[in-house]
Amino acid sequence: MTRSAITHRLASVLGASALLLAALGATPASAATPPLLVRPDGGYPTVPLEKDVVVIKVVQNAPLNLQKAPSIKEGLATNVERMAAWIQKACTTGKKPDFILFNEFPLTGYSSGTREEKLKFTIQVPGPETQRLGELAKACDTYIVFGSYATDPAWPGHILSLNPVIGRDGKLKHVYWKSRNVIRLNDDEIPTTTVENVRDKFRAKYGIEEEFPVLMTEYGNIAVSTVQLDPFVFAAYAMRGVEIMLRTATLFSKTDVQAIALYNNMYSAMSNITFPADSGVPASFGGGSLIVDPRGKVLAEDPSNNDAIVEAEVPIAAFRKGRTIPRYPLEVVKPVFDQYRQEIPLNHLDLPPAQLPQTTKDMKDLLDRGSRWKKK
């Protein structure tokens, strides 16, 4: 049984129990006592560190776009082995890696077209690809992190943006959903499903803790995100105790990576895809992967569009010593925040599969119809 199936069954059981308690006039414990998401003393939970200094390696490379592969099966097999070659190189050159970070689409490439078309060019997590990568992680004794478009039987018709984390033992440790998409960035809108646009159903299935989950590892507290240009999302992760933020995104902003690390007192790394000369995508959009420290200083970077590995050491023990979560002036800004209304309401993609937007224009039309800011 898959993780999502187990979670779905558990949610169904818990939901039935809640209904029974309500009928008997009782209050479920979860409703009476919300989970503690942020410690009130400025601290955060951790597990003991195995070493004082850890090594992050970031791979930037060009996958075979599945739309151009002879078949989806052959394309995925090719891209898994491309990842395997990069993992082998990362594990046999330079310092031994503790984390290997890949980009947003190392297995599938970026696919274009309608929802129906794009759904073909996805993976499922767990699946044969994560199993193969797990074998490589175990052989190298490293964490492997990457992004992918994915599908899940629990979310029929939805294109998910997932970031799996595979542990040193080869097992899947966590799967990070994308928190939200950038909205109103251009004339098109991204139709992938995020936590924001199905928030209530996501919370019912997985719990509120999974909205900004922190993976406590023997090498530090990590999280993974494909979000861009959104300081509030990363502030939430920082409040939850993230020490190393691993990011997978395409066409990202270097300044955004540096600023997020600086504002939230965390190490961060970003992996970007590279674009071959025949891709039709400007070379300036590819590469540029980097690792930065909590002051936003670049520790390692490859500014080119070439396939490469960048690496840096993180003195995690010294960094953690005496560290608290950031000192945000939340009580100062709260009166303003309390009156702010998001333009687009939550749950705007909580729709039957047949009603999900098929194209970027369909997504824009959906957002326009639901906008709280546009005059009707």
For 312-334, how does the pLDDT look when each residue is reduced to its tens digit (9 = 90+)?
A: 999 999 999 999 999 999 999 99
Mean pLDDT of 106-126: 96
> Quick one: pLDDT at residue 33?
84
Residue type, 109: G
Instruction: Tell me which of 3-12, 162-171, 241-250, 284-293 is least confident.
Output: 3-12
Tell whether the torsion through CA atoms of 99, 102, 107 and 111 is positive or negative: positive
Spacing of C-alpha 4 from chain mean position: 17
> Quick one: pLDDT at residue 278?
86
Strand bridging mode 148-150 / 308-314 = unpaired
Region at 221 (left for phi over 0; alpha for psi -120 to 50; beta for the rest): beta
Spacing of C-alpha 40 from chain mean position: 26
| Residue 72 clears pLDDT 90, i.e. is over it | yes
> Quick one: pLDDT at residue 329?
98
**Is 104:273 a contact under the CB 8 Å cutoff?**
yes
Which residue in this structure is represented by tokens 């300036």? 284
Cα(first)–Cα(last) distance of the chain, in Å?
46
| Residue 10 clears pLDDT 70, i.e. is over it | no
> Quick one: pLDDT at residue 28?
44
| Residue 307 clears pLDDT 70, i.e. is over it | yes
Instruction: Tell me which of 4-8, 93-97, 274-278 is least confident.
Output: 4-8
The radius of gyration computed from the CA coordinates of the chain, to the nearest angstrom, equals 21
Spacing of C-alpha 124 from chain mean position: 15
Instruction: Tell me which of 64-73, 181-190, 206-215, 329-338 is least confident.
Output: 181-190
d(CA 287, CA 272): 5
Residue type, 72: I
Which residue in this structure is represented by tokens 């992760």? 237
Residue type, 7: T
| Residue 18 clears pLDDT 50, i.e. is over it | no
Mean pLDDT of 85-99: 98
E strand segments, the chain: 54-60, 99-101, 143-145, 148-150, 160-166, 172-177, 215-217, 220-225, 244-248, 267-271, 290-292, 298-301, 308-314
Q: Any idea what the Cα angle at residue 316 is, between residues 310 and 317, rounded to 5°?
A: 155
Strand bridging mode 172-177 / 99-101 = unpaired
3-class DSSP assignment, residue 263: helix
Instruction: Tell me which of 18-32, 46-60, 95-109 is least confident.
Output: 18-32
d(CA 139, CA 169): 9
Mean pLDDT rounded to a whole number for the chain: 92
> Quick one: pLDDT at residue 31?
52
> Quick one: pLDDT at residue 230?
96
Confidence label for 186 from pLDDT (cuts 50, 70 and 90): confident
Q: Which CATH architecture has domain 54-320?
A: 4-Layer Sandwich (3.60)
Residue closest to 249 by CA, chosen among 226, 230, 282: 226
